[in-house]
Amino acid sequence: MREELLQIIEKNSKIAPNELAVILGVREEDILNELAALEKEGIICGYHTLIDWEKTSLEKVNALIEVRVTPQRGQGFDRIAERIYNYPEVRAVYLISGGYDLLVTLEEKSLKEISNFVTDKLSTLESVLSTATHFILKKYKDHGTILDKKHNDEREIITP
């Protein structure tokens, strides 16, 4: 049940425990216990809402920054990653295989704020060798969800 439960709430964290119980064919109590266990074990790390900010009046600029760094003795990339992810404006940090080391994503109100972060904070870190900043122009699909998908049911209304 654990895996199925996670798959469902990854897509819809709003779904009520009693409803989860019905569709998974278990008792509500089991769902509540399992959710508590998953939170305790740190498997469920939070409940988020997927928002298409484009459709609001709020300005948001998103950037992906490729960062090349020098790994540190005994610590590998963990320490420099920590230095970076501790900035609250950083949304995600991934260690990447291939042409660069860390992928940092950033969300700010303006281009200027992003460029300030890169020039003042990120680039000045000692082990950062280089950065390449990419701005996101449009989000088509995020977290497995197509943002502008129209849900027209084009099937005939009655079929045998």
Partner 1 sequence: MTKPLNKNVLNIKPSGIRKFFDIVSEIKGAISLGVGEPDFDTPWHIRDEGIYALEKGRTFYTSNSGLKTLREEISKKVNRMRRVEYNPQNEILVTVGGSEAIDIGLRALVSNGDEVIIPEPSYVSYYPCTVLAGAKPVIINLKGENEFRLKPDELLNAVTDKTKVLILPFPNNPTGAIMEREDLEAIRKIIIDNDLYVISDEIYSELTYKEKHVSIVSLEGMKERTVLIDGFSKAYAMTGWRLGYACAPKEIISQMTKIHQFAIMCAPTTSQYAAISALRNGDSDILEMKKSYNMRRRFLINAFKKMNLECFEPYGAFYVFPSIKEFNMTSEEFATRFLEEEKVAAIPGNAFGESGEGYLRISYAYSIENLKIAIERLERFITKLRKEQNKS
Q: By CB under 8 A, name the binding residues for partner 1.
A: 4, 7-8, 19, 22-25, 153, 155-160
C-beta separation of 103 from 66 below 8 A: yes
Assess contact for 122 and 128: CB atoms under 8 A: yes
Q: Which is nearer to partner 1, 143 or 155 (CB)?
A: 155
> Could you tell me how many residues make up the chain?
160
Q: How far is the CB of 4 from partner 1 (least distance, A)?
A: 7
Output 32 or 103, the one with its CB closest to partner 1: 32
Instruction: Kindly state the tokens that stand for 33.
Output: 């216990």
Smallest distance, partner 1 to C-beta of residue 160, A: 5
Residue 123's contacts (CB-CB under 8 Å, 6 or more residues apart) are 131
Chain centroid, CA 60 distance in Å: 16
Q: Considering the complex, what minimum distance in angstroms separates the CB of residue 32 from partner 1?
A: 18
Q: Which is nearer to partner 1, 5 or 69 (CB)?
A: 5
